Amino acid sequence: MDTVESLRGELNACLSALTAAGLGNLDPQNIEQLNKFSAAAGSLGMNSGKKLIDNLSAVLTAFKEGSSQEGSVQVRLTALEFYLQSIKGGGSEEEL
């Protein structure tokens, strides 16, 4: 992923797969994939995006371990989805 737009597309696909499968069927690969996206976001200077991805990854891990609630996951998922929509078409983090 060498552009913000390609990372945005990959993240959207990951979030769609995650929501389609449901939290009860959380695949550890989803969390691993989010961690890779976090690194890519950092290298692209997407500091807000990296923070949102890291937050979602952490709460998904906690949910899988039984120490977080579904509502916490939903809040972070919604925040990341809003962020992705906000940067669609070349929007920047400074505009958020």
Nearest alpha-carbon partner for 73 in 32, 11, 18, 20: 18
**pLDDT single digits (tens) 56-74:** 999 999 999 999 999 999 9
Q: Identify the band that residue 2 occupies on the pLDDT scale cut at 50, 70 and 90.
A: confident
pTM listed for this prediction: 0.89
Domain boundaries, the chain: 4-90
> Tokens for 30?
């989803």
DSSP secondary structure string for all residues of 32-52: HHHHHHHHHHHHTT-HHHHHH
